[in-house]
Amino acid sequence: MCGITGFTGMHPAAPVLLNGLSRLEYRGYDSAGIAVLNGNAIHIEKVSGRIAKLYEKTEGGKTVPGTIGIGHTRWATHGAPTDFNAHPHLSNDGRFAVVHNGIIENYLALREELIAEDYIFHSETDTEVIVHLLEKYYTGDIKAAVMKTASRLEGSYALGILCTDAPDTLFAVREASPLILGIGVGEQYFSSDVTALISLTKNVIYLEDGEIACLTPDHVTVYDCTGKEITKPISRVTWNVEAAEKGGYEHFMLKEIMEQPAAVKAALTSRIQGEKIRLDDFELPAEILRSFHKIIITACGSAYYAGCSGRYAIEKLCHLPVEVELASELRYADPLVDTHTLVLVISQSGETADSIAALKECRARGATIIGIVNVVGSTIANLADYTLYTRAGPEIAVATTKGFTTQLAVLYLIALSFAEKLRSISPEVYSSLLWELKQVPKYIQQSIDMNYQLPTLSRRYSSRSLFFIGRNTDYAVALEGALKMKEISYLHAESYAAGELKHGTIALIENGQPVIAVCCNEALADKTLSNVVEVKARGAKVLALAFHGNSRIISQADDVIFIPRISTIFSPILAVVPLQLLAYYAAKAHNCDIDKPKNLAKSVTVE
């Protein structure tokens, strides 16, 4: 995903911009560039490939003097990842430079209009229309030109703008793409992500859609979409730089797997007060809950699989029908959604385009929206009626781990909280499950500690294409386990409902076929065990995942991973942890780029 950053102050801008861009690398990109204003000329340097090339080309920024500038990492959407498509883009008159994160959906019409007016394009990007519109509408008032330009754009954009006529002033615009201002002393910043700011300042302003910011070294002014100056609260970021660093682990992903006990604790504890669950700053009273005829959970990727797991808890405890829908499908499905529908939108980044679109589709039909999001101030957080932050802290690795388990933690809180209000479970069951939920951070740690043999098991089972099988809650875990394996080790892996094997896929089982059997749903354990026997009879080697003390599985599987025993509806939050580590060690054995897997971005902000 693209990332933008900007600086205005009394020091050289280029080194600050390069450092900011390096903190955005994890988002996934394929080109990068900076623009610095020096005197009355804008100097642009941009490269396809890694930021290291930009450091080298500019000698760490030394060859690009000036104290105000903008920077960009680009994840190609319109036009190949080449130098000329890289941002920043410059207006024909050399007066404006722009960096952009998002997609201008009407760029083709704008491009034709501008070409007809003799503006010359140097790239294939949608972004370049912005810089020519600024030139077109500029008559001496930069803010007016920015507002007029923004009024012509359709789609999503976080913009950083530099103008030679404003030698110390940056402009930043937010519409449906994250943009955060960093408030310094004698210098100001902006970025797509807090991670690029926290080494500079912990005082930030989260811009919202339609807002325009004007940054000078000593002052930040924010305007609403009408151009009226508004007051914005300054938030204090609690993360420190180390929290966004690797903390001694070889990879961010391993660090984030190991952080899960603490992350899940952060998601739970502030919301459990004695025997009560307080879902942050909103309460949905029983009469409102009773007005909902169904719940739809929508998300993408791992967040969708979190929904598949959470669904069982909500249905079981609240006796409410729950549908789990892929956001990329739901947005075009003409969904049966109305004012009696509660929609949970799950997203670590809060910026996933399909999930945003699905949210808007459901909201337009009258649904009540709860966002389950990790990134504060993100688009989904701003669009939802209510937001529950997962509080996982910065998740840098592209493959989500703590982002996933904290989503489950929040879903379990919702299930229990709603069930208590609806009186759909007895007070005794509520208290017992609440007690169990409070043990989850400790049980996650035990799931990690009990499975020191995972590096060996991973080498034994990650030789070739793998099957992940399970039933009910175990099937939802198998889905996420297979995705983890695929996205970081590049091994083909498929997850199947264990009962489905005999309907075709068992034809693929041959001698030595690795099968990971998730067997934590004890009501269905005998059924899954029979599936284990079926595949073993055809030559498969089976690694089973089961509760500690399940002796029967030992006689059937070739190897067993044990986790602490917990109620079935909560078992996915424990069972997924060994599968995350299985995938991690497989990727390590295959020398893969674990934190930044090929072709993947941390947040998919385009369709």
Closest contact distance (angstroms) between CB of 381 and ligand AGP is 12
* Cβ at position 51, least distance to ligand AGP in Å: 21
Nearer to ligand AGP, 302 or 571 (CB): 302
Of the listed 255, 402, 596, 602, which one is catalytic? 602
Q: Which amino acid is at 339?
A: T
Please identify, among the stretches 247-255, 274-282, 533-541, 596-604, the one whose residues bind ligand AGP according to the rule CB under 6 A. Answer: 596-604
Contact segment (CB under 6 A) with ligand AGP among 15-23, 47-55, 349-357, 543-551 equals: 349-357
Nearest residue (CB) to ligand AGP, 145 versus 180: 180
Q: Which of residues 60-89 bind ligand AGP (CB under 6 A)?
A: none
**Scanning the structure block, which residue is given the tokens 């680009």?**
74
Give 133 or 398: the residue with its C-beta nearer to ligand AGP: 398
- Residue 488 CB, nearest approach to ligand AGP (Å): 8
Angle made by CA atoms 282, 287, 292, in degrees to the nearest 5: 85
For residue 194, the minimal CB distance to ligand AGP (Å) is 15
- Judged by CB under 6 A, the stretch of 150-158, 274-282, 298-306, 470-478 that binds ligand AGP is 298-306
DSSP 3-state assignment of 562?
strand
Neighbours of 115 (CB within 10 A): 13
Q: Report the residue number, 313 or 604, with the smaller CB distance to ligand AGP.
A: 604
In degrees and rounded to multiples of 5, residue 186 shows phi and psi of 80, 5
400 binds ligand AGP (CB under 6 A): yes
CB distance 334 to 310 below 8 Å: no
As to burial, measured by CB atoms within 10 angstroms (0-12 exposed, 13-18 middle, 19+ buried), residue 540 is buried
**Which of 2, 303, 392, 583 is in the footprint of ligand AGP by CB under 6 A?**
303
Q: How far is the CB of 233 from ligand AGP (least distance, A)?
A: 25
CA 504, CA 525: separation in Å to the nearest integer?
22
**For residues 298 and 135, what is the distance between their CA atoms, to the nearest angstrom?**
41
C-beta of 150 vs 392, nearer to ligand AGP: 392
Burial class (CB in 10 A: 0-12, 13-18, 19+), 244: buried
**Smallest gap from residue 38 Cβ to ligand AGP (A):** 38
Note whether 347 binds ligand AGP by CB under 6 A. yes
What CA–CA distance (Å, rounded) separates 211 from 292?
Answer: 34
**DSSP per-residue codes, 156-213:** EEEEEEEETTSTT-EEEEEESS--EEEE-SS-EEEESSGGGTTTT-SEEEE--TT-EE
Q: Would you tell me how many other CB atoms lie within 10 Å of the CB of residue 278?
A: 13
Q: What is the DSSP letter of 99?
A: E
Q: Does the protein bind ligand AGP through residue 195 (CB under 6 A)?
A: no
Is there binding between residue 398 and ligand AGP (CB under 6 A)?
A: yes
Least spacing, CB of residue 606 vs ligand AGP, in Å: 11
Of 12, 301, 310, 564, which lies in the binding site for ligand AGP, with binding defined by CB under 6 A? 301
Q: From residue 419, give the alpha-carbon distance in Å to each of 285, 385, 445.
A: 11, 21, 28
* SS3 state at 70: strand
The one-letter amino acid at 273: Q
Count residues near ligand AGP (CB under 6 A).
16
Is the CB of residue 603 less than 8 Å from the CB of residue 352? yes
State the nearest-atom distance from the C-beta of 596 to ligand AGP, in Å.
11
Task: Sort 370 into a burial class: Cβ within 10 Å, 0-12 / 13-18 / 19+.
Answer: buried
Taking CB under 6 A as the rule, does residue 355 contact ligand AGP? Answer: yes
Find the part of the chain contacting ligand AGP (CB under 6 A) among 57-65, 106-114, 195-203, 341-349.
341-349
Q: How many degrees, rounded to 5, is the angle at CA 52 between CA 47 and CA 58?
A: 65
Residue choice 8, 48, 58, 302 for contact with ligand AGP (CB under 6 A): 302
Is 474 or 487 the residue whose CB approaches ligand AGP more closely? 487
Q: Which residue is nearest to ligand AGP (CB)?
A: 301
294 labelled catalytic: no
Full DSSP string of 487-507: HHH---EEEEEGGGGGGTGGG
> Using the rule CB under 6 A, which residue among 19, 348, 528, 605 binds ligand AGP?
348
The site map against ligand AGP for 475-494 (x = CB under 6 A) is ------------x-------
Q: Does 352 bind ligand AGP (CB under 6 A)?
A: yes
Contacts of 332 (CB under 8 A, 6+ apart): none
Within its chain, how far is the Cα of 306 from the centroid?
A: 13
| Closest to ligand AGP by CB, 349 or 417 | 349
Between 44 and 482, name the residue whose CB sits nearer to ligand AGP: 482
In the chain, DSSP finds a helix count (H) and a strand count (E) of 19, 27
- C-beta contacts of 365-368 below 8 A and 24+ residues apart: 365/335, 365/337, 365/338, 365/341, 366/337, 366/338, 366/339, 366/341, 367/296, 367/337, 367/338, 367/339, 367/341, 367/342, 367/343, 368/288, 368/292, 368/339, 368/341, 368/342, 368/343
Judged by CB under 6 A, which of 159, 264, 297, 300 binds ligand AGP? 300
**Least separation, in Å, of the C-beta of 346 and ligand AGP?**
7
Q: How far is the CB of 405 from ligand AGP (least distance, A)?
A: 12
Interface segment toward ligand AGP; rule CB under 6 A; list 135-143, 222-230, 301-309, 454-462: 301-309
Nearer to ligand AGP, 32 or 396 (CB): 396
Q: Which residue in the list 2, 163, 308, 592 is annotated as catalytic?
A: 2
Q: What's the closest the beta carbon of residue 310 comes to ligand AGP, in angstroms? A: 14
Per-position x/- string for 531-570, each x denoting binding to ligand AGP as judged by CB under 6 A, each - no binding: ----------------------------------------
Active site annotation includes 2: yes
Coil, helix or strand at residue 152: helix
Residues near ligand AGP (CB under 6 A) are 300-303, 347-349, 352, 355, 398-400, 487, 600, 603-604
Catalytic residue set: 2, 602
